[in-house]
Amino acid sequence: MLFKDQILFVLQHMKKNKLRVTMTVLATMIGCSFLIVLASIGFGIQETMRNEILNQEQITQIELWGNETLSDEDKTFIEKIEHVNVVLKKESINGYIHSKFEDREGDSNGVFIDMAAQKKLPTNLSEGRLPEAENEIIVGYHYAQSLFNETDNAEIERKSKAAQEQGSYYDGSEEGYKGEILNKTVELQFVDDATEEYSEPKPYTIVGILKKPSYDWYIDSSIMFSDTLKNAYPSITTSSTTLIYVDSLEHVLPVLDILKENNYQVYSQVEQLEELDLFFLIFKLGLVFIGTIAILIASIGIFNTMTMAVTERTREIGVLKAIGASPNLIQRLFLMESTFIGILGTILAIGVSYFISFLANAILPHIVSYALSDESIMEHDITFSIIPFSLIIIAGSISILVAIFSGWRPARKATKIQVINALRQEL
Amino acid sequence: MIKVDSLKHTFTIGKKGKENRVEVLKGINFNIESKEIVAIVGKSGSGKSTLLQILAGFLKADSGSIIINNTEIAHFSEKESAAFRMNHFGFVFQNFQLLPGQTVFENIELPLKLKGIRQPVRKKKVQEILKKVGLMEVEDHYPNELSGGQQQRVAIARAMITNPPIILADEPTGSLDSQTEQDILLLIQQLNKNEGITFVIITHDEEVASIANRKLRMSDGFLVGGTKYAF
């Protein structure tokens, strides 16, 4: 029998039992969409968390831990490792910096930075340039906003009280200096945390402003000094960190390995990503397993439909065999029918799953934000469901294979029908 | 054309553990020549239907030999039997055995489809045969819309669409009235004469058997009368 005729033959029979076939296709569709949507949640959450990590810090950055300051010898060794671009020393000042500008004052964290190394990195400034002299500084994106005068303080106090009464919190973002701060001179004092001793006030020129932090909630009012200034303040204590920048993402792990082999305590977000990927691989496998159970339940429907089809068509099978149809052909015709049911159900399921996924991503953030009374959730880029092509292939294959397998036994039963018994059946 | 030798068959019937063995064919020998009409007659339970089923390959004989066109078919597998049936036999049954969901055209076309013949060729062949059996007017009708005689004509048309050398007919007029019976018997005679098809007819009706060139009479699993061999 020509393949085209086999298809037409099967379609003709499916058409005759429209209702039963439609219900079975629907059951398959529900099972398969359940699998796709369930697994898509795993993909969605994983993607959201990955993005979260990738946004946190530069992903090609390796952090070197340890209490001792990095020696020049160590620095040279690390710089010689292949694919290491920059070794950047940062020294966070223990204590804080008191700023005065016009009638405004504010407190910030301070950091000494190796500006020569920083220059080799892609710019981290939103405007201006890096300091070239000791009396030049760069400030955080929100530095100007955190300089308050007395009017601002009174206003903040008033708004905080009002917010407190309503059970919320006011962060003072509406006050602060609104003018242009770049190229302005501010008076700074280093304040020792423990003794509350203020250093001699000195003027510094703001030559650069850092980029806005990737998190909306993070207020960056820090001040960055050139590390050459540190010699002028020998009494200031610092906590140092060293950041190693690798040229590209795929070289982070090999560089990490070399550093670990040489007994450096290092950490990179990439390691966290790897652990995250492993965790989500297991998580997604679990979801696929649960979803497959739904498909298996749908397969019972296919099995029933096909068994009914074989029973109903016993006489027809007998006639076909009598006029020369081989057992293989009979089996193939029934297997094709269950495969068609599987394919139809899967195609519909793919469409339905994309629709549900779209709805979930559009509506769920609103629902979660409403349920938790937290509007900031809407500001985060949360994806609840993602359907990658690989998921379609995996779920589609599972669904179609299960459909074929469900039709296999009824198809075998059809081949075993005896012509004489079949022809004896009443019309 | 057909040579049957020492053919035996036993049925096992009854509940498991209390089975009875019934010997239905007890050593049958006969031959049939090309273009003959042979009637196998006998009472109910004489074994004539079993003989036809074994000839057709629906049942396997316990022992003996069946040679058709120089091919031993008694020990064929199910798959070999199906392929042999497709090329050598046409079937006509008492209750027509047409597929109710398919039109007259589609029913007749079915064996050609199974043989893998393309649609334009099928269409031409079916229309030729519809003309021969006088069913041009009803080609798009469904079997339940036809009379008994018309349905049996469709069944005969389906049996001969692949030009088989032999048509096996099991009580071909058993469900028909006497006038229609005459029409069908006439059609069989015409097809035998004009197309050269060999007919093996199983019947208990002497009138049907009367159109045959030879009668083989069966009783209690034996061939007891008639001319067993064509000369």
Q: What is the pLDDT of residues A234-273, one digit of tens each?
A: 888 888 888 888 887 778 888 888 888 888 888 887 777 7
Token digits of residue A370: 């409403």
Task: Report the number of distinct structural domains present in chain B.
Answer: 1
- Give the residue from chain A lying closest to B81, CA to CA: A324
C-alpha A311/C-alpha A33 separation (Å) is: 30
**Beta strands in B34-98, from DSSP E residues, in sequence order:** 37-42, 63-68, 71-72, 89-92
The answer to whether B110 contacts A323, with C-beta atoms less than 8 Å apart, is yes
- A73, part of any domain: no
**Closest approach of B103 to chain A, Cα-based (Å):** 12
Write down the pLDDT at residue A110: 93
**A419 and A294 assigned to the same domain:** yes
Q: Residues 6 or more apart from B192 whose CB is under 8 A from it?
A: B35, B37, B198, B199
Rounded to whole angstroms, what are the CA distances from A269 to A24, A34, A67, A78? 48, 33, 21, 19
**A46 and A151 assigned to the same domain:** no
**pLDDT category of residue A56 using cuts at 50, 70 and 90:** low
What domain range includes position A137? 126-233
Residues, chain B, total?
231
- Mean pLDDT of the B197-221 span: 89
Write down the pLDDT at residue A276: 80
**A220 and A298 assigned to the same domain:** no
- Mean pLDDT of the A41-63 span: 79
**A222 and A290 assigned to the same domain:** no
Option in B59, B91, B95 nearest A323 (CB): B91
- A345, part of any domain: yes
**A296 and A419 assigned to the same domain:** yes
Within 111-130 of B, beta carbons closer than 8 Å to A belong to 111, 113-116, 118
Task: Report the number of distinct structural domains present in chain A.
Answer: 2
Tens of pLDDT, residue by residue over A374-425, are 666 666 677 889 999 999 999 999 999 999 999 999 999 898 888 888 887 6
For residue A86, give the H/E element and its range. strand A84-93
What domain range includes position B122? 2-226
C-alpha B110/C-alpha A12 separation (Å) is: 14
Reference A97, options A186, A16, A174, A162; nearest CA is A186
**pLDDT category of residue A427 using cuts at 50, 70 and 90:** very low
pLDDT reading at A291 higher than 90: no
pLDDT > 70 in chain A, percent: 96
Residue B9 forms contact with A (CB below 8 Å): no
- Supply the mean pLDDT for chain A: 86
Token digits of residue B80: 């070999």
- Mean pLDDT of the A291-300 span: 86
The answer to whether A420 contacts B59, with C-beta atoms less than 8 Å apart, is yes
- B165, part of any domain: yes
Tens of pLDDT, residue by residue over A280-289, are 888 888 888 8
The answer to whether B58 contacts A419, with C-beta atoms less than 8 Å apart, is yes
Give the end of a domain, one of A171, A201, A233.
A233
- Give the residue from chain A lying closest to B55, CA to CA: A322
pLDDT reading at B230 higher than 70: no
pLDDT > 90 in chain A, percent: 28
- Mean pLDDT of the B45-59 span: 89
**pLDDT category of residue A55 using cuts at 50, 70 and 90:** low
CB contacts, 8 Å: B13 with chain A: none
- Mean pLDDT of the A88-92 span: 86
- A66, part of any domain: no
Option in A2, A318, A327 nearest B78 (CB): A327
**A194 and A284 assigned to the same domain:** no
Give the end of a domain, one of A233, A264, A296.
A233
Phi, psi values for residue A41, rounded to 5°: -65, -40
- Give the residue from chain B lying closest to A425, CA to CA: B97
Q: Give the mutation candidate from A7, A323, A415 for the B interface (greatest B CB count, under 10 A).
A: A323
Tens of pLDDT, residue by residue over A183-200, are 999 999 998 887 888 888
- A294, part of any domain: yes
Interchain CB contacts (distance < 8 Å): A and B: 63
Write down the pLDDT at residue B106: 93
Tens of pLDDT, residue by residue over A318-349, are 999 998 899 999 999 999 999 999 999 999 99
pLDDT reading at B21 higher than 80: yes
Asked whether the beta carbons of A206 and A128 are under 8 A apart, the reply is yes
CB contacts, 8 Å: B78 with chain A: 327
**A140 and A201 assigned to the same domain:** yes
**pLDDT category of residue A109 using cuts at 50, 70 and 90:** very high
**A211 and A308 assigned to the same domain:** no
CB contacts, 8 Å: B110 with chain A: 320, 323
Write down the pLDDT at residue A208: 94
Q: Residues 6 or more apart from A226 whose CB is under 8 A from it?
A: A112, A113, A115, A131, A133, A134, A136
CB contacts, 8 Å: A418 with chain B: 58
CATH number (domain holding residue B199): 3.40.50.300
- B169, part of any domain: yes
CB contacts, 8 Å: A319 with chain B: 97-99
Within 328-347 of A, beta carbons closer than 8 Å to B belong to 328-329
SS3 B218: strand
Asked whether the beta carbons of A109 and A96 are under 8 A apart, the reply is yes
- A9, part of any domain: yes
CB contacts, 8 Å: A329 with chain B: 114
**A278 and A360 assigned to the same domain:** yes
- A69, part of any domain: no
- A70, part of any domain: no
**A417 and A321 assigned to the same domain:** yes
CB contacts, 8 Å: B79 with chain A: 326-328
The answer to whether A320 contacts B110, with C-beta atoms less than 8 Å apart, is yes
Q: Is the pLDDT higher at A376 or at A19? A: A19
**A304 and A412 assigned to the same domain:** yes
- B231, part of any domain: no
Option in A5, A316, A325 nearest B99 (CB): A316
What is the torsion angle, in degrees rounded to the nearest 10, for the CA atoms of residue B79, residue B84, residue B90 and residue B91?
Answer: -40
- A301, part of any domain: yes
**A162 and A51 assigned to the same domain:** no
The answer to whether B79 contacts A315, with C-beta atoms less than 8 Å apart, is no
